[in-house]
Amino acid sequence: MALVSASPIVVWKGEWQFDAQYIPKTEGQLYPQFSSMVRWKLVDQEAISASLKDLEMNILLCNKVVSREAAIVFYKMNTFSFSRQHNWDPIVSWLGAIGAENRGPLQSLDIDARQPDEAWQRSSGERLRLQHQTKEQLYPRHPYLQLRNDETPLKYGPVENINPAVETVFVLLGRRPSYQKITITMQVSRVYPGMRLGRDPFSQSPERDWFSMDLPNLMEKCRSLHTRNVEVLWKGEDERKEFEEQHSRLKSLGWDVTLLPTKEDTIQLISHYYSTHTTFEESRNAKYILRREEITEPLLASEPNPYHWIEPQALKDYD
């Protein structure tokens, strides 16, 4: 069909870019002194344009009757993708820009489920920017994610810096003139919420692979408050044996877990190099689907990343 794409239509795709600034070396210095870091998001306009090149988009510009019928087909029959480091703002902007009438026929959104940006939580609950980890603006903890209400100090450490625009996505989807169901597919890349990749006790940087339950919990809370006609599915792959071992823990975190049959597995060969020979081991990656169960109890914010590490002399500035 002229307005239906076989692959998701890329609405937004972008990555953080970095440029370190240094003070020129003075005589006797081995290396220049670090000054500042410039960050910006580079949007992949080529990928966005390429996803539309085979579609007859001019039909949307015809007379009122034809363009309206074409718009219904376009928004109903396609999946719209927001990939890489989107931070939710582009999703809110797009949903607002297309208007309530075009949000009505929407059936499928595809969103990259990257680990959220990090901030530092002090024992008072105050949040601070982390020099190298906090890339986005510093957001307050969402009021739906409550802190525990006892008198002991809170744990300090890195917490997820989640854009409150997440809620606006569900508010806008709840204001559609249609009650048609829409599926948001969260594409999990390496780490699924509530666990960390590899679960290797000898990992050099385990803190990098932590993904708390705050984002799925917040999304489920917003879904239940603003629109019941949205289904949120978290999809990804993990080594089958590892995933099966984590099944009961995932259930305890509030996930409804579907593990696809072995015929859907992808096979990888893992190389092991020795001084005299190389061996190969077959690894089966299973596809899974996670759905956050309905929240029936007060929603508590996750504890800080339990794998964080910070120099003891710096704690006076962070605890």
Residue 199 lies in a domain: yes
The span from the CA of 102 to the CA of 224, in Å, is: 22
Residue 139 lies in a domain: yes
Cβ-based neighbour number of residue 280 at 10 Å: 9
Three-state secondary-structure class, residue 264: helix
- 270 phi and psi angles, rounded to 5 deg: -100, 130
pLDDT at position 305 = 86
pLDDT at position 197 = 52
Residue 164 lies in a domain: yes
Number of domains present in the structure of the chain? 1
Find how far residue 136's CA is from the centre of its chain. Answer: 14
The span from the CA of 251 to the CA of 237, in Å, is: 17
pLDDT at position 77 = 94
Q: 91 near 82, Cβ under 8 Å?
A: yes
CA triple 122-123-124, angle to 5 deg: 85
CA distances from 194 to 109, 189, 277 (A): 23, 14, 38
pLDDT tens profile 240-294: 888 888 888 899 999 999 999 888 888 877 776 666 767 777 788 889 999 999 9
Residue 62 lies in a domain: no
CA distances from 292 to 10, 211, 250, 304 (A): 26, 15, 10, 21
* Residue owning tokens 């003891």: 312
Residue 299 lies in a domain: yes
The span from the CA of 189 to the CA of 79, in Å, is: 18
What's the domain range around 252? 86-317
Q: Let me know how long the chain is.
A: 319
pLDDT at position 313 = 46
pLDDT < 70 regions, the chain? 1, 132, 151, 196-207, 272-275, 277, 309-319
CB burial string 202-233: b at 16+ within 10 A, e below = eeeebbbbbbbbbbbbbbbbbbeebbeebebe
pLDDT at position 165 = 95
pLDDT at position 2 = 87
In sequence order, the β-bridge partners of residue 288 are 236, 259
pLDDT at position 1 = 60
Residue 179 lies in a domain: yes
Residue 21 lies in a domain: no
Residue 101 lies in a domain: yes
